[in-house]
A = this chain, B = another copy of it.
């Protein structure tokens, strides 16, 4: 698959994802000019200093003039809210995508407000970190991660084709999933786990012990488990909010499962057999999640 080359690629948002994208595109010479667009000139200048972008702009007009590609790398609610304003500014025929972690609402909005001549498709590269900012960016950030594309029946084949070539060239493993299904799956494998990590920490500090006392005895286990709870607040409150229906369905499912555990834990006579069965059910899923990798290791 031949990597695409864009004479003028605009990246809207130069945080961890946008900054890494600029570095990755530069390393592979996939753009003539990498243009940064954002609110803070200071952060843009920092991203330029780090080699993520060539130009700094705080107004979309100047950034998008002559552009033939635009990647929105903002938190998901902001992506959705900016689309209408950008619609008139992106030159005809340009490739447009985004890296938002929630897709249905963004894709619906894009199909509503973007003109037909733009080659739009939603992307969700599954690379991430609890760190934020271009300072933690890396040119190999997207390598060896899945990148989910969310085409619909309205997606132009050229947009899908460009996105496949773009993300594949950056080292990602491209997968196609419909936007609604994407949001359901991501609620389960990412958004709900993030919420659970936060809720666990909240309950620990509220009802168990002050964090300093926890820190004294906690092993690496709890730290590993809750690392994701250190992620950027602005991004995550927008993810939860944009994916609220799927999150609520996930919380319903979780509540049912936790109620089974609760029933088996009644202290009058804890039900060892059921506790074992419930544990085995999770353990078996875990085994399948690892697939053949675990089998060949152990």
Across the interface, name the chain B residue whose C-beta is closest to A127: B219
CB distance from A221 to the nearest CB of B (A): 6
Cβ–Cβ < 8 Å partners of A146 in chain B: 216-217, 219
B211 touches A225 (CB 8 A): no
CB distance from A146 to the nearest CB of B (A): 5
Kindly state the separation between the CA atoms of A149 and B280 in the bound complex, as whole angstroms.
Answer: 30
Across the interface, name the chain B residue whose C-beta is closest to A184: B208
B218 touches A289 (CB 8 A): yes
CB distance from A77 to the nearest CB of B (A): 8
Contact mask for chain A residues 188-216; partner B; CB cutoff 8 A; 1 contact, 0 none: 11101101111111111111110111111
Whether A296 sits at the interface, judged by CB under 8 Å, is: no
Kindly state the separation between the CA atoms of A150 and B141 in the bound complex, as whole angstroms.
Answer: 46
Cβ–Cβ < 8 Å partners of A113 in chain B: none
Cβ–Cβ < 8 Å partners of A148 in chain B: 217
A285 touches B204 (CB 8 A): yes
Interface majority SS (helix, strand, loop, mixed), chain A: helix
A257 touches B199 (CB 8 A): yes
Cβ–Cβ < 8 Å partners of A175 in chain B: 216-217
B283 touches A265 (CB 8 A): no
Whether A32 sits at the interface, judged by CB under 8 Å, is: no
Cβ–Cβ < 8 Å partners of A225 in chain B: 193, 197, 224-225, 228
A237 touches B275 (CB 8 A): yes
Whether A185 sits at the interface, judged by CB under 8 Å, is: yes
Kindly state the separation between the CA atoms of A290 and B225 in the bound complex, as whole angstroms.
Answer: 13
Contact of A202 among B190, B257, B291 (CB under 8 A): B257
B276 touches A223 (CB 8 A): no
Known: A241-B270, A248-B265. A276 touches B233 (CB 8 A): yes
Contact mask for chain A residues 211-251; partner B; CB cutoff 8 A; 1 contact, 0 none: 11111111101111111111101101110111011011111
Contact mask for chain A residues 174-188; partner B; CB cutoff 8 A; 1 contact, 0 none: 010100000011011
Contact of A289 among B128, B196, B201, B285 (CB under 8 A): B201
Across the interface, name the chain B residue whose C-beta is closest to A145: B219
Contact of A203 among B127, B202, B253 (CB under 8 A): B253
Binding site for B on A (CB under 8 A): 77, 126-128, 131, 145-146, 148, 175, 177, 184-185, 187-190, 192-193, 195-209, 211-219, 221-231, 233-234, 236-238, 240-242, 244-245, 247-251, 253-258, 261-262, 264-267, 270-272, 275-276, 278-283, 285-291, 294, 298
A selection of 10 A-B contacts at a CB cut-off of 8 Å is A185-B214, A188-B204, A188-B208, A189-B204, A199-B258, A206-B253, A206-B257, A208-B253, A233-B279, A248-B265
Additional pairs, 14, CB under 8 Å, beyond known A203-B257, A233-B276, A237-B279: A145-B219, A185-B213, A187-B208, A189-B217, A190-B219, A190-B221, A193-B222, A202-B281, A211-B288, A226-B289, A227-B286, A230-B286, A230-B287, A236-B279
